Chain A
Amino acid sequence: MSAAPPTGRRAPWRRTVLAIAWPGAVGLLSALLLLLVALPLAGLLFSASPRQLLAGLGDPLVVPALRLTIFTTTVSLLVILICGTPLGWVIARRTSGGSGAGRAGKVWRVLETVVELPVVLPPAVAGVALLLAFGRRGLLGPGLAAAGIGLPFTCAAVVVAQTFVAAPFYLQAAVAAFRRLDPDLILVARTLGASRPRVLFTVAIPVSWPSLAGGAAMSWARALGEFGATLMFAGNMSGRTQTLPLAIYTALESDLRTAQSLSILLVAVAFALLVAIRAGARR
């Protein structure tokens, strides 16, 4: 393996070839991936007439599913933000700098991996895992039953499933953002007399805001698309546990057009919210 000669000594024809081939290769590879993602979306959008799509939206499944989806994903996102921000902060603080070297740092790093695991769990496995934890015969089942709480088949189960699968996305972003904070910034704030909560709320969160918002958007999008764990853990009941993805799957059994209309609705809602969150993050 010989070291590449400095550009200036290269034969002129090689530079010309590179000048043509490089943009060509970049363009071709980018175009391939873009097409792969964009074509199915275009197919979804353009393979039915607007009138057929509107008729599909008249299906009785649609309104309850849309309402339930917006409600449950909002609650899930709030839970993730309220609990995930402090968790991300603790993990970042305990695993970076001087405190990350000791045994405690290792433990926090393991915990970080554990809470990020749901990202790689197949959805059906996530559903079974939730049942084995919170179901009637699950770990907490007898305790919950004694307290008169039955989670499966309820709206709360939908929120639990969404939070389970979506939390890692926000958490990952929060930990990374808090780790990137300049330690001196925190030190200065503390020496100037800022309390610990004040450091988090007036220094760390504002500085990390764009990354946090990006993570929140990813979490929210994941909650919106959540399907398998919900189906296993919360069941499929219109108005109670049937979110948009479940309604789409149910509609597929009878009417492709309704499923298609619902899918476009889902994509539109997701697109609007992602744009809104990204715009908010830039400010």
Chain B
Amino acid sequence: MIDWLFEPGLFVNHSVLTAMGVGAVVATVSAVVGIFTVLRGQSFAGHALTDVATAGGAGAFLAGLAPLAGFVGGGVVGAGAMDVIGVQRVKGRDIATGVVLGAATGLAALFLYLSTTHSSATGTTQLILFGSIFTVSSSTLPEVVIASVVVLIIVAAIGRPLLLSSLSAELASARGVRLRAVGLAFMVVLAISVGLSAIVIGSILSTALLIGPPASALKVVGRVGLGVVVSVLLGVGATVLGIVLAYDSYYWFPSHRGLPVSFFVVVVVVAEFVAASVLQRSRRTRAPATRPTTLAVTSGGH
């Protein structure tokens, strides 16, 4: 029975353990930053920055620089460009993100093309786009942990004004919060966190873990503090479960071709979200008078 769920060798396999460690760290940071991303309605920017970071990573690969610097640097430059074009105004935000994203994908196409024709790096494209948590070397773990701690410290430092300005911009500016500065600081944090997760787990998972667990948490929990905790638990849980399933899936097909980790993690994340939505609805129908939960995840345009 145990062998059926955990294929033999799962917990002694070094790369699996590294993957789980790195995955848990990245999932935690994404879950925390994601709460604010969802509250501020910046999912598109959060996703677009993965592609921008990917362009940076591809550029760094081409120039022979450290990929982590490329991913994080690309993300921060992209976040700055979005801010200059006008990410703070809700109306212009969509276009600003779109224009930067369009330019970044163009650059990514160029860099990937150059690096695949000028060097024999087969599989680079796939790796950059879809990431592969199993190829994370244990030597990157310290770097990832340090960058993650930095992100969490900045979030803790700007947490209160950020939360206030996310929930009510008018109230925040009446209280003397500098909206533009807080917004820009958050974009930089978002860019670092997304660049980090994009290089470690690929851009698909980066968005999935940034948006999925926080959106689920905000559906079932009323307070933001508790939401952060639930979001982290959901994110880490999805990552670990996804890695286990991906490891198992190697034995599912006669061809011994395991399905990618990203696939399983996304399936778990979406399942969590569906469960959270069902829970939210059943609570609403049971107690229509109290109107609990849902801070921001109600219907409405972005």
A and B part of one assembly: no
Chain B interface (Cβ < 8 Å from any Cβ of A): none
